[in-house]
Amino acid sequence: MATEYDLVILGGGTGGYVAAIRASQLGLKTAVVEKRKLGGTCLHKGCIPSKALLRSAEVYRTAKQAEEFGVNVPEVELQFSKVQSRKQKIVDQLYNGVKHLMKKGKIDVYEGIGRILGPSIFSPMPGTVSVEMASGAENEMLVPKNVIIATGSRPRSLPGLEPDGENILSSDDALELEHLPASIVIVGGGVIGIEWASMLNDFGVDVTVVEYAGRILPTEDADISREMQTRLAKKGITIITGAKVLPDSLEKGKTISIQAEKDGETHTYSAEKMLISVGRQANVEGIGLENTDIQIENGFIATNSMYQTKESHIYAIGDVIGGLQLAHVASHEGMTAVEHIADQHPHSMDYSLVPKCIYSSPEAASVGLTEEEAKAEGRNIKVGKFPFQAIGKALVYGETDGFVKIVADQDSDDILGVHMIGPHVTDMISEAGLAKVLDATPWEVGQTIHPHPTLSEAIGEAALAVDGKAIHF
């Protein structure tokens, strides 16, 4: 049997389910096809479970430091199974929430593997979606006017270093650890690698990070990378940069060992387990792209700024199109695509306004251009920097490391980028995001009254510092 829809969304991750809700709000008859669980990577393998584990690690570390706050905690014991069950409870609660939202929006959810068909008896155009139902029931045929592909991504591996789920882990495997290893080598010092390094170190694991680029977090502002490396090293994490892992050198025994080449020399790194965090690849296979004219560029689906593929009624959003692989990017792309389908004339997304967060300890967050990028664009820049050391609330928290840095244009006075590292900056970055959206100048941010004592005062002070007018430093 074939069922007609205005819109069928392939993949019910953050991008897909948010797009479905917007479509239902705009009156489109909508279906979502999901082969695993609604919520996708972010809810089940990414943002939420990793942040739940990070929060437990933070509580454990803070409890061990309680004496500094005048609180005597005689024995701090980590019960990792409870850490994992707390994580799962949070995920389950949010999963139920997403299922409820689908019902509320009268969105049909098909549990199964979706595949796009070419022209068929159902439609002269490619786009009919055949669903191989998880229940084993006969395939469902969905005949939509429009399709959104939101099939997301999966961990990338290196040849010779494929995760085995036991000793060589992907981030998916690491989330399911039943016991903490004594030691781990993390290959890749990007966002995911650094969050895991920080978390496992806080849990008491001996952590080594091996990064190919000259610095960890290579896409962040160089000052942020440098500060993060210093802070993590101070916590006891070994960080090796500019090191090329030699996959053929992998040896599995009681421990895992790997060799990496750095400055012409070969070094060996051994640990109980290894985590491979070297990026994510798009899920473009097995979804019927060969039945369409849709193009793949560098492994990702190519789209225009409204997320239309070469088949103008088939859109693609989220991790499967590459770029910034973030949940809030996927959902905004999804909403833009749906509004375009519904003739709402949305603005195309400005990716320079997307905040990026790293939930390690210390946290880091940024929006807009790094100092290096601004200079590479030929901008005449001015920079304001303000340390948390001079912020009363940071002292109260007992977390005074880090700073807020604002990069502005000397000629136009535009804020080009804001970069932060320190306590709670992943929550504070939204103010910088708003300042960018409203095209505020550093002076305007400096005039904004920041309540005292708060960590947000560091933003106001950094804005004043752009023109040499910071008060407390």
Ligand X SMILES: Cc1cc2nc3c(=O)[nH]c(=O)nc-3n(C[C@H](O)[C@H](O)[C@H](O)COP(=O)(O)OP(=O)(O)OC[C@H]3O[C@@H](n4cnc5c(N)ncnc54)[C@H](O)[C@@H]3O)c2cc1C
Residue numbers belonging to the annotated binding site: 51, 114, 151-153, 188-195, 211, 279, 319
Given the residues 100, 313, 424, 452, select the one marked as catalytic: 452
DSSP β-bridge partners for residue 383: 407
Using an 8 Å Cβ cutoff, are 363 and 425 in contact? yes
Which segments of 342-424 does DSSP mark as H helices, in order? 371-376, 392-397
Nearer Cβ to ligand X (11/181)? 11
Nearer Cβ to ligand X (73/134)? 134
Least distance (Å) from ligand X to the CB of residue 171?
4
The DSSP result for 404-447, as a single string, is: EEEEEETTT--EEEEEEEETTHHHHHHHHHHHHHTT--HHHHHH
Under the binding rule (CB under 6 A), the answer on residue 47 touching ligand X is yes
Q: What is the rounded distance in angstroms from the CA atom of residue 207 to the CA atom of residue 201?
A: 6
Can you say how many angstroms the Cα of residue 153 is from the centroid of all Cα atoms in its chain? 12
Task: Figure out which of the listed residues 185, 186, 326, 365 binds ligand X, where binding follows CB under 6 A.
Answer: 326
Residue of 375, 448, 365 lying closest to 410 (CA atoms) = 375
Can you say how many angstroms the Cα of residue 298 is from the centroid of all Cα atoms in its chain? 20
Nearer Cβ to ligand X (201/441)? 201
- Helix 425-437 with 457-465: angle, nearest 10 deg: 50
Least distance (Å) from ligand X to the CB of residue 286?
6
Task: Figure out which of the listed residues 5, 24, 28, 41 binds ligand X, where binding follows CB under 6 A.
Answer: 41
Q: Is 452 a catalytic residue?
A: yes
- In which residue are the tokens 């969304």 written? 9
Least distance (Å) from ligand X to the CB of residue 324?
8
Q: Which residues are annotated as a binding site for NAD(+)?
A: 188-195, 211, 279
Under the binding rule (CB under 6 A), the answer on residue 10 touching ligand X is yes
Under the binding rule (CB under 6 A), the answer on residue 192 touching ligand X is yes
Task: Figure out which of the listed residues 5, 9, 16, 60 binds ligand X, where binding follows CB under 6 A.
Answer: 16
Under the binding rule (CB under 6 A), the answer on residue 19 touching ligand X is no
Under the binding rule (CB under 6 A), the answer on residue 50 touching ligand X is yes
Q: What is the rounded distance in angstroms from the CA atom of residue 462 to the CA atom of residue 470?
A: 7
Near ligand X in 59-78, by CB under 6 A: none
Q: What is the rounded distance in angstroms from the CA atom of residue 33 to the CA atom of residue 16?
A: 9
Q: Active-site positions? A: 452
- Contact residues toward ligand X (CB under 6 A) are 10-16, 33-36, 40-42, 45-47, 50, 113-114, 150-153, 171, 192, 283, 287, 318-320, 325-328, 330, 359
